[in-house]
Structure formats: C-alpha cells, structure tokens
Amino acid sequence: MNKKFSLHNALLPILLLVLMVVLPFPINLPKANAAPASSHCHVTDGTFTTCPDGSVEWSDVTPRFFAATNSYLYADQAKLNSSLSALFDTFVLMYDECNRTVPLASDEYFLVHFNTVEVTNGVASLVSYVVHIFSDHTIIFIENGVENPAGRAAVVEGQQGAAGFGTSPNCNFNHLIVEYQVPLSAAGGGGTYSPDPLFWSSDAPLPPPPPTQSCPAVGNTLSVNLPQVSVTPSISLKPYSITYDSLTLTFTVGSPAANGFCSLTSNTGVLNVLISPFGSSSRTVIATSTATATVDFFTLPSAGTLPPSCSFSSGVTNGCFLNPPPTGANDIVVRWSTPGFTIRIDNLPATFDTGPRTYWVNVNPGLVSTASSVSIMLDLAESFIHRTLIDNLPAISRLAWFQDPLQTSS
C-alpha cells in the first residue's frame, strides 16, 4: 500500500535584516515563451545536477519561496525531445523541500497535482493530473481519477520524475529534493504553462515521532549559512535589482533560558546589501545591516503564554509568531531576539538602529514534520526568519527605503 509524503507547514528563525513577505499568488497561464529559459542543462534526477560545461542546473532560475513549508519551487521550459521541432517542448519543475529531512521510504511518494485544458475533436475540457513520484525514479500517473495502464514506471506519456535526498543551494543539510518533467502540450494545453504553486498537495504518511530535546554542550558552536537573496524594488520599473549577500554565522551554546532546553547566541553578523543595474553582472555594496541574535528553544507548554501571529499589513510586526502558532502538546518553539539591526547606508555619516526585535517560530512540527536535531532546527529557523524579514522589509519601518535606494524620500 503506497503512503503519501507529507508537506506540513514548515518555518523558523534567523538573524539580521529588516523585513517583508512573499505569499503564494493566484495562478495564471503565461505563454510558454513568456519567461527566458535557463541556459543550463536539465536532468530529472532529484538533484541540482552539474552540467557537462561545469555549470549548475537551475542556477540561473529564480525560485518561488513558500514560507509555510520552507520550500522553493523552480519552474522552467526546456528542449528535451529531439524528435520535436519546437524550440521548447518540456516543462520542468524542481521542488526543494527543506522541511523534509528524512528520505522517502520505498513505498512513499511525493505528490504533484495540476489541472490542464485539453481539446478533443474541437471540444475543450478540464483534465486533472495527479502524479506520484518515488525515490527510485519511477512515477504513477493518474488522469481524472484513472491510473494509467503503465502503472509504476520510469516514463509515462512523456512524464518523468525523481525524488532525491541531499543538500541544495538553499539548505546545506540533507533533505528531500524532487524533480518532475511533463510535455509542454500537457502542462497547460497547447504550449502554455503555469509556474505557480497549484502543482502540489500531500498527506502525512505516518504520525511524526516525538520531538528531539537534546542540546549540545555549553560552549559548542554551530554554523549557519544564509543564502544570497534577491528582491524586487518597492517601486516598479526601476533599472536595477537589490540583493542581500550570503552570510555565515557562528552560534555558541550557552545556558538555557528559563523554562527552555537550549540557547545559542550568534557572533556579530554584517550583511551586505548590493545593487546591480539591469543587464549588468556587477554588484556594488550600498548598505550594511549588523546584528547579533539569541535563539531560545522551548517545548510546550513550558514556553508560557505565547504571543499572536505577526501581521505586517496591520501593524503587528514585533514580538509575534512568523508562522502559525503551535497546537500540539509537545511542539517545539523558538524565540529569536536581537538588540537591534544597525543599518549603515553608503555615503551617509549616520547609522540607523531598528531597536530590539523578537520573533517566535513554531519549529517542530511547524517547520519540520519529524524529530530533528537542534542543529537542523537552528539552520531551518535562521534561514526562514532571514527570508521572512527580508520579504517584509517595507512593512516594518521607514528604513525600508534602503531596499529602493533611488527613491528621494523614506
């Protein structure tokens, strides 16, 4: 009996920045040639493949980040079928599932679902595609509730999939990575496709085991690597892009906070904010954001009274949960706090300070669906908070204007 893989809500804390949020948008169906295709290879093998020319697959494709599952979705069009004359003939997807830190069992699958429009004898009809992707590079294809006669196979009607397990550019620890390819004619009907999120859903195969509560010895250090993050300027049609550089932080284990079971404090991190004119590969540092952070782990109900969820649209921007608050009796939560971000903008003599900031994250099972070590939970939490604060920068304070440096006012 096959078991579905779960995509539970996943999220968590980090250090630095100032804030902003990206949520799933309604799906639309652009023409297949609306977005430039990647210049690198595509291999459906469940990993970020190194291409024959030494480049890395997906490295020039910007993913869509989903805070609710701490996952990244890449979408692209490719030329993979030499028998067809079309410039692009295949729609390819990469799911970087950072919250799944346990490999799929042989009978577990990752579920991809989407709807498409097919025309038969001049009549258009809505068709439901459901695809089960396994770790042995086989798939099961179900169309309108009917399983394809090919059963579980490597290729079904031109579709292929692979569920891998390893590290990625977004998360430097082992986790689930899934790739899927489908002919463009099926991805959206007649050569259109949607790169948006209505491709996935899933259910938990098994109840998660009890959360891990062990903490490294006081004085031990854990490293967290925060990836480079690009953002869109707050004013459209600006001839440049803004990028927050990558950053490596070192956290030192200290004595636990009251009622907590693990506490870690980071070194002083200095995050570079870069500007790049469109059409240019050069980047210039225009600002820095400097901070330290303390991360405290609690198991409910020892954390005491919990704060509300953050609402960057209505002013609840501090002392709040960045993801849905926990509901389980043994859930693990993280309290992330900083004395403040010190912002220095290029060519200005003064610095700006945000003042103290505190954010909470439901880690387990909110961010990870299975028991995980403090090291994994810290990495997930830092990366999640880092991205969430960047994404919510305009809603947080007047300092948001350094994300749009050509504006004349704050």
Q: What is the pLDDT of residues 29-80, one digit of tens each?
A: 334 344 568 889 999 999 999 999 999 999 999 888 888 778 888 988 888 8
Tokens in use for 226? 């925060």
User: Cβ(364)–Cβ(299) under 8 Å?
Assistant: no
- The rounded distance, in Å, linking the Cα atoms of 114 and 234 is 32
Q: What is the pLDDT of residues 384-410, one digit of tens each?
A: 999 888 888 765 554 444 454 444 333
User: Cβ(371)–Cβ(211) under 8 Å?
Assistant: yes
If one counts every other C-beta atom within 10 angstroms of the C-beta of residue 34, the result is 12
pLDDT band at 136 (very low <50, low <70, confident <90, very high): very high
**Run of H or E residues at 77:** strand 71-78
Q: What is the pLDDT of residues 150-159, one digit of tens each?
A: 999 999 999 9
Q: Which residues contact 281 (CB under 8 A, 6 or more apart)?
A: none
- The rounded distance, in Å, linking the Cα atoms of 1 and 345 is 59
